[in-house]
Structure 1
């Protein structure tokens, strides 16, 4: 035929991005030539690297086994099979040492910190050997005492022969190119001026498979905070999210049911990537999940309620849902953000009968026919969902259908 766009043009010429053979000609798209053939190729980045987001079959793929990161402009990639850590070379970048570190953080990592011979081999494997790229070592704080920006031990020595040699003023590390390295030492370390952008070109970034707890705020990985640990209860959760928590629970008459979440911080907190999960009658897996997209204003609350609740509850309600907010006294509730538990009520996988807690008095803490408010001493969520749950430990009890303060944070002594 004389239809273009199928590899053979209307004038019977082979079209760019295609290879045609035989007569009549059969035309196939050429993968890895940098030309995307719509309908046949999802991507084509002009190379045969499997781990840069576009596979050798011209299909979209995971970058170095890591998701939620932007590695546009990366030139070569290597992955540590033991840890999943990804090393990426960005060629031709004329940034200073500080600028290179900032760029690596924006990509979801940091300048490479090399702590073993195996890691040295991986880093050197992605280097453009015609350039001297930055890595993440410096002695700017204490002259002659090099350290990694990550705080990792500077115990492995990868310096080239005669290095470091610069003394004061040559405080940052790069890799030697083939042109200036001693024989057989391409990719070994050299100290140089931290602003020497004419000599240093490019950077090598290290992207751990899990960055939460490394002390670097990686917004490209969905982190809202990173306090250099994965300890819950210190303001920044084990999943590097601001720690919101349940502040009020209403299991009232008829459909009067609500759950309140509190943001104790002086900045708004996005709930994108968070969900509420209901575990009914001792279920070990969620009976219903409600994905959240809202933002809780600074020092404010968000209320989810049953859409058939009374007018007082509905007036304070931000999210109306009759599937998840339909819990009874024997149903567990969980708040999950970034795949990790942020707070919970009840013990998942256990059916307590009719309630957790006791009904010895009209106000004794119980998950049945009560309003519960968190104690003022509680400043973060209950992240262990499999242990015994006693509401009296963290909650104060109020009589059924006590609705005062719903929608306004309040706690009990």
Structure 2
């Protein structure tokens, strides 16, 4: 069994789906459950944390707790899932978490890559590219919580971790798994982290074959899917799991991401004349007051298409809010407001929630007490529906994922 520790909710569902596509039986748990609460017979167990931007010490503690639980239920390999844009602050949390996992597992080398070519994330000479732009020149440069202003994976990791890192160049990767394993063995005692270049799915598959017997691997969903395919090549018959039918029922969309793609998706919702309500921190910095205003607005809506409640802002407007209120405080206000709104909408009969953004998704999951679910049909590449206990279905979308019409399409049907 493979045990996955994800540093946010949308990353967890992305990784779970990557494994599921290869026929592996996969369960997702939001927060670390007791070992007795994990279903038996799974090929992959994914534990979704909300640890990407919390203090490093807390992120380490949560991740170690998840790791110990996964090992207790038989995980042979641990996979630490982080974002394909290596989202982190100057202090972590990718480096500190991996350092702690290395010490727990007593391993001496970790192969890791954020490369996910299907989403335009590739690495070359140790530099991360986003849709053919260097990470530091992409829109992620101005991310409100984790601004990424360096594209060198080694520099980013060395600034927040112990043990040092090296790049495994594309000339080695293209020679295949044996060459990559040779590079790993040659540097086991001189560098802790190895970043192999990956520009194609074939590169990722070579990396995956090279790490199948390593106790700890880290990266984005691209490597997770490649590991699933590598395991699948050993099986004689494919396995499948999860529902293939899209859910129905009353829906609502909650959007907190300020990514360029989410802003495009919100624009499509507005152009489709979907009912929309924006949370305005300038109008009130009280989360409960903001939430009650949104719920009063919802209660006054006539029957019709699914509504949108959002806090997302373009870069200039976002900076204005953050300058006036503070980055952390503004994030806290909106996360708390979305939690109140989610509970209120659930009480009003909403059974399908579409959430845009990792922090918004985390607030939704926590507010509704969702402990886990079955990975279902994909609404977009890397964005699955999750069927939870009872009649509740959730779609937890990373800010940068999905086509421009995703929010419209996912929330179609009865509202």
Per the normalisation by structure 2, the TM-score is 0.28
Could you say which structure has the higher helix fraction? 2
Could you say which structure has the higher strand fraction? 1
Per the normalisation by structure 1, the TM-score is 0.29
- The structure whose RCO (Cα within 8 Å, separation 6+) is larger is 2
